[in-house]
Amino acid sequence: MAVIMSMVIWAGSGIAVKAALLSLSPMALILTRFTIAVLLMLAVGLIFRGHSMLGLQRLEKQDVWLFLLGGFFQPFLYFILETYSYDCFSTPTLAEAFLSTNPLMAPIFAWLFLRERVTVFNILGILVSTAGMLMLVLAGAGDMELGNAWGIPLALVTVATAVAFSIILKKIPAHYNSLTVVFWGQLTGLVMFYLLSGATALAGSAGAESSFIDIFRVTFAESILPESIRGVAYLAVLSSVAAFILFCFSVRYLGVTRANIFNNIRPVFTALLMLLIFGEQLPVLKWIGVLIVILGLFLCQKQPKK
């Protein structure tokens, strides 16, 4: 239930991003989103100090490097690579197809770094679900040009950073609650984003400079649209806090392979949200893709008899 809920939230992130970008530059959106998220988690963690689930915990010295590494991979490196990946492909549809290959890479990483057992059902479920995801994303897209050939390796590296983040989550000691894990990881990523934005601003990039300044005046800007405010709120509170905490819990409980397979269901929820919010109808072939994705998820979660 936790991992499905996280995917439902992330499925709506694309809609929220489009709304937020009506008033903000991409870097200003990133800085605003994660600043609000970190402050929110800090407030909750301090209010419920001492609570086993909602209180912020102190980090032990030997574990600090894991949290720093987690924040470096996601959100910092992942969001930068994802942005350039979308820029390389000719259409967002193709980019989404390649950026949704987490389930194919997760078993390899899980076996190499965690010696996590991968069963026949896991592999079969991943293949079936990925086939359904590709059908859902690409059906009816027509003849599409690839765009910049660098988009494919860039997308695969982007996916690798997301899977690496899952591996780090699994390695973080279990006595840290999910709020603590997500807070310190996102605080690390936010500091890196500020440093990057400040460095590019000092280097003389006008776009970077405006985005760096926007973070301090976004609340008081007269031109900011109500849709953008709702988009930022959705991304900060739900996508960056609630969904990350739910996914963190899921990886620790289900394992890297079984949790990442649910990334294939994100396009399903995105399609359903587009149907409910904008009335965008799905062709029959896409509905078949939805059913295949769900079948693959059930196969992947099946455990062999002992």
pLDDT level of residue 220 (50, 70, 90 thresholds): very low
Domain that holds residue 226: 2-301
The tens digit of pLDDT for each residue in 3-30 reads: 999 999 988 887 888 888 888 877 888 8
Task: Report how far Cα 93 is from the mean position of its chain's Cα atoms.
Answer: 17
Q: Residue 281 pLDDT > 80, yes or no?
A: no
Is 79 domain-assigned? yes
Judge whether residue 200 has pLDDT over 80: no
Query: Does residue 292 belong to any structural domain of this protein?
Result: yes
3-state helix, strand, coil in the chain (%, to 5): 80, 0, 20
Q: Is residue 211 part of a domain?
A: yes
Return the CA Rg of the chain: 19
- Give pLDDT, residue 64: 93
Give the tens place of pLDDT for each residue, 241-273: 999 999 999 998 888 888 888 888 887 787 788
Question: What pLDDT is stored for residue 21 in this prediction?
Answer: 80
| Whole-number Cα distances in Å, 89 to 29, 82, 94, 159, 206 | 22, 11, 7, 15, 25
pLDDT attached to residue 145: 61
Interval 102-143: pLDDT, tens: 888 888 888 888 888 888 888 888 888 888 887 877 776 555
pLDDT of 303 above 70: no
**Torsion sign (Cα): 163, 82, 263, 59:** positive
How many structural domains does the chain have?
Answer: 1
- 8-state DSSP, 72: I
Q: How far is CA 222 from each of CA 94, 217, 225, 229, rounded to the nearest angstrom? A: 36, 10, 8, 12
Max mean pLDDT among 33-37, 50-54, 95-99 falls in 33-37
Residue 306 lies in a domain: no
pLDDT at 201: 72
